[in-house]
Amino acid sequence: MPVAPLALEVHALRKTFGNVVAVDGLDLEVQAGECFGLLGPNGAGKTTTIEICEGLQEPDSGDVLILGQRWSSDERALRERLGVQLQETQFSEKVTVEETITLFRSFFRRGPVVDEIIRLVQLDEKRGARVGTLSGGQKQRLSVACALAGDPELLFLDEPTTGLDPQSRRQLWDLVERLRASGRSIVLTTHYMDEAERLCDRVAIVDHGKVIAIDTPRGLIRALGAEQVVEVELAEGAAVPSGLFDTTAGVLGSRIDGPLWTLQVSAAHEAVPAVLRTLESAQLSLTELRTHTPTLEDVFVSLTGRHLREQ
Amino acid sequence: MSESSPKQSAWNPGEGGSSSPLLQLTLIRFREFLREPEAVFWTFIFPLLLASGLGLAFRSRPGDVAKVGVLTTAPGAESVRAALTGDSTLQIVSLDDSAAVTALRIGTVALVVVATDSERVEYRYDRARTEARTARLLVDQALQRKRGRTDAVQVSESIVSERGSRYIDFVLPGLLAMNLMGSGMWGIGFSIVDARKKKLLKRFVATPMRRHHYLASFLLMRLGLMVIEVTVITVFGYFAFGVPMRGSLVTFGVACLLGALVFGSLGLLVASRARTIEAASGLMNLLMLPMWVASGVFFSAGNFPDAVQPVIQALPLTAVVDAVRGIMIQGLGWAALALEFAIIATWLVLSFGIALRIFRWR
């Protein structure tokens, strides 16, 4: 049996808009059948990257191989094999769910029947409803439905849950998980950590147009080396010596951001008393103390020194 | 059932699930249009209201009377008034100085008679107004006859009110052509700019959809609507005002078809790059306004100076108006309208070709 080609191969991709560098030498490999996440803050170059992969933008330089084919030579064949969901597509409000999906289905040579798509995205009750009457979550599922019309081998989802309420997000996650279980490759972008952790087999962390880390969500978190994260918030205005926790027992790394210290620790039950003793001897009072298991957010902070969603 | 995760192999192959993309795109066009009540009103109802209004305002009025004011403060007012009352073609009102000025200004009387003394009258009126000149002739004739002037020539009259020579016969084909222009340009232009703004164009481009199918679906919708529009307006004109259809229906059909296509293509051209409705709107007005004024919809394009005639004759709306009017009212055939058809075809090829070339899909 021949080795299946990679779902996506991106090499040294570059794209500038005027003097803004959106994508700056980005490399990626996505395995067939994998759900791959591009994680990064707004403006990191995720959408530009994914739109180049979708054949909607031209890169300045670099090489993109999709399902073993190239846009320059195989555009028509590729269009039949991909499912694309864009950020911010607004479908015609006067047209019903079923009519919209039927339209998209008609563009593809092969694919599931319309009823089946509607059932998969759980819009059965809304099939006759006009798009204008749908909720945000329902519109987003319609958008995914249209991307499924050609039974794609590779599905691109660009920030599928941005702006949705928690319940709608979970519904969409369930849908993505069902799609992943059906064996197709998925590339999704997100700036939500929990989304990437829950849905993706592997995650590339993108910042300033480059991949700065790439691994499974667990692997990225494990590389942090910490078992627990302790956040300590000090009273405003206190003069804080830098390197305050450098010698505290059990603290592996620390970072200060205003009054907030973020400490990576090996074991919370040993580190927290030591942290409290350090504060006491420095005569600092704390206003809040939290611990949590590390997340991709902590990975991002430790890699870039910034939070994923500033403000 | 919904709990099971359907495997890729569980999809039924889509035989019967898929149909022609061009058909689906065109169906969507019609649905979008018919589900927009305002669009239906402007396309079908408005031209009928306009035609009815104009037809009533400019209907042939056999018993028409001229409204004439007599200035009461003038010395001979009473004798003039006496001389004019009783003339069935005149309606007399007495006015003082300020009322006379106002009445002339706002057009409630066409002419004011000032009897300066028993032997002299002065007519105050605007020579540019047809009804004022008519009133002057009628008043003068009535006064002169009262003082004993006799007609030197014996006159007999035979009144003509032939279908095809009234204002409604002139204006209805004009409205028909104007409607083809308006609905073609607005209908197509706005839908496309809207789809571009909503990133729907980009989303379509991300599928295997053929781009010419997308553009063709707009022209097909226009042709479908054109048949309805044209039928409604001509049938209404025929039964409500007796506007004739003297030429061949085939020639007429081809003229309307070409008209719908040429304005549809111009709509595509206007929308080919615009990113906002405002930008498209400005371009549309820039293109359409000169044609509304100059192309002979409401009055003959011949009223404009000779120097600009070549330009006016080359406008697409002028060609469509002349063709439709020529066929309906004069019964002209292919040979007589060859120039008009050539002008329309040229605009069609140019605008569609350029639109395809410069169209912005993203």
Most A CBs within 10 Å: which of B2, B9, B11, B217, as the mutation test of the A interface?
B11
Q: For residue B13, is it within any domain?
A: no
Listed residue (A85, A77, A132, A88) closest to A110, CA to CA: A77
Residues A191 and A287 placed together within one structural domain of the fold = no
* A136 CA: distance to closest CA in chain B (Å): 15
Q: For residue B162, what pLDDT band results from cuts at 50, 70 and 90?
A: low
Q: For residue B15, is it within any domain?
A: no
Residues B126 and B189 placed together within one structural domain of the fold = no
Q: Is A17 on the interface with B (CB under 8 A)?
A: no
Is A109–B5 a contact, with Cβ atoms under 8 angstroms apart?
A: no
Is B27–A99 a contact, with Cβ atoms under 8 angstroms apart?
A: yes
Residues A125 and A217 placed together within one structural domain of the fold = yes
Place of tokens 């195989």: A74
- B6: which chain A residues are within 8 Å (Cβ-Cβ)? 116, 120, 178, 182
Which residue is closest to B12 within chain A, CA to CA? A112
Q: Is the pTM of this model over 0.95?
A: no
Q: For residue B338, what pLDDT band results from cuts at 50, 70 and 90?
A: very high
Residues B226 and B255 placed together within one structural domain of the fold = yes
Chain A stretch 145-174, residues whose beta carbon is closer than 8 A to a beta carbon of chain B: 146, 149-151
Q: For residue A3, is it within any domain?
A: no
Q: For residue B259, what pLDDT band results from cuts at 50, 70 and 90?
A: very high
Is B24–A91 a contact, with Cβ atoms under 8 angstroms apart?
A: no
Residues A42 and A183 placed together within one structural domain of the fold = yes
Q: For residue A17, is it within any domain?
A: yes
The whole-number pLDDT of residue A262 equals 85
pLDDT 10s digits, B165-185: 778 888 899 999 999 999 889
Is B28–A95 a contact, with Cβ atoms under 8 angstroms apart?
A: yes
What average pLDDT is seen over chain B?
86
Residues A139 and A41 placed together within one structural domain of the fold = yes
Residues B141 and B232 placed together within one structural domain of the fold = no
Residues B325 and B212 placed together within one structural domain of the fold = yes
Q: Give me the CATH number covering residue A145.
A: 3.40.50.300
Q: Is A112 on the interface with B (CB under 8 A)?
A: yes
Residues A73 and A16 placed together within one structural domain of the fold = yes
Plot region of A67 (φ>0 → left; ψ -120 to 50 → alpha; else → beta):
left
Residues A89 and A136 placed together within one structural domain of the fold = yes
Q: For residue B64, what pLDDT band results from cuts at 50, 70 and 90?
A: low
pLDDT above 80 for B16: no
The whole-number pLDDT of residue A3 equals 60
Residues B122 and B170 placed together within one structural domain of the fold = no
Residues B228 and B331 placed together within one structural domain of the fold = yes
pLDDT above 90 for A252: no
Q: For residue B233, is it within any domain?
A: yes
pLDDT above 60 for A23: yes
Q: Give me the CATH number covering residue A240.
A: 3.30.70
Residues B252 and B338 placed together within one structural domain of the fold = yes
Q: For residue B230, is it within any domain?
A: yes
pLDDT 10s digits, A129-153: 999 999 999 999 999 999 999 999 9
Q: For residue B264, is it within any domain?
A: yes
Residues B101 and B209 placed together within one structural domain of the fold = no
Q: Give me the CATH number covering residue B104.
A: 3.40.190.10
Is B200–A109 a contact, with Cβ atoms under 8 angstroms apart?
A: no
Which residue is closest to B24 within chain A, CA to CA? A103
Which range of residues forms the domain containing residue B228? 20-57+166-358
Residues A121 and A68 placed together within one structural domain of the fold = yes
pLDDT above 90 for A128: yes
Residues A232 and A268 placed together within one structural domain of the fold = yes
Residues B186 and B333 placed together within one structural domain of the fold = yes
Domains of chain A: total: 2
Q: For residue B98, is it within any domain?
A: yes
Which ipTM score applies to this complex? 0.85
Q: What is the DSSP letter of B306?
A: G
pLDDT 10s digits, A167-224: 999 999 999 999 999 889 999 998 888 899 899 999 999 999 999 999 998 888 888 7
Residues B328 and B222 placed together within one structural domain of the fold = yes
Which residue is closest to A55 within chain B, CA to CA? B206
The whole-number pLDDT of residue B45 equals 83
Q: How far apart are CA B113 and CA B125, in angstroms?
A: 9
The whole-number pLDDT of residue A119 equals 93
Residues A214 and A253 placed together within one structural domain of the fold = no
Which range of residues forms the domain containing residue A50? 8-221
The whole-number pLDDT of residue A191 equals 83
* A95 CA: distance to closest CA in chain B (Å): 7
Torsion, Cα of A118, A123, A124, A129 (10° steps): -110
Residues A214 and A236 placed together within one structural domain of the fold = no
Q: For residue B18, what pLDDT band results from cuts at 50, 70 and 90?
A: low
Q: For residue B254, is it within any domain?
A: yes
3-state secondary structure chain A: CCCCCCCEEEEEEEEEECCEEEEEEEEEEECCCCEEEEECCCCCCHHHHHHHHCCCCCCCEEEEEECCECHHHHHHHHHHHEEEECCCCCCCCCCEHHHHHHHHHHHCCCCCCHHHHHHHCCCHHHCCCEHHHCCHHHHHHHHHHHHCCCCCCEEEEECCCCCCCHHHHHHHHHHHHHHHHCCCEEEEEECCHHHHHHHCCEEEEEECCEEEEEECHHHHHHHCCCCEEEEEEECCCCCCCCCCCCCCCCEEEEEEECCEEEEEECCHHHHHHHHHHHHHHCCCCEEEEEEECCCHHHHHHHHHCCCCCCC
Q: How far apart are CA B243 and CA B252, in angstroms?
A: 14
Q: For residue B3, what pLDDT band results from cuts at 50, 70 and 90?
A: very low
Domains of chain B: total: 2
Q: How far apart are CA A156 and CA A152, in angstroms?
A: 10
Q: For residue A300, is it within any domain?
A: no
Q: For residue A263, is it within any domain?
A: yes
Most A CBs within 10 Å: which of B203, B211, B214, B218, as the mutation test of the A interface?
B203
Q: For residue A32, is it within any domain?
A: yes
Which residue is closest to A176 within chain B, CA to CA? B5
pLDDT 10s digits, B197-237: 999 999 999 999 998 899 989 999 999 989 988 998 899 88
Residues B190 and B240 placed together within one structural domain of the fold = yes
Residues A206 and A262 placed together within one structural domain of the fold = no
Q: For residue B70, is it within any domain?
A: yes
Instruction: Number of A to B CB contacts under 8 A, please give it.
Output: 118
How much of chain A exceeds pLDDT 70, in percent? 96
Partners of B122 in beta bridges:
B114
Chain A stretch 55-74, residues whose beta carbon is closer than 8 A to a beta carbon of chain B: 55-56
Residues A43 and A189 placed together within one structural domain of the fold = yes
* A114 CA: distance to closest CA in chain B (Å): 6
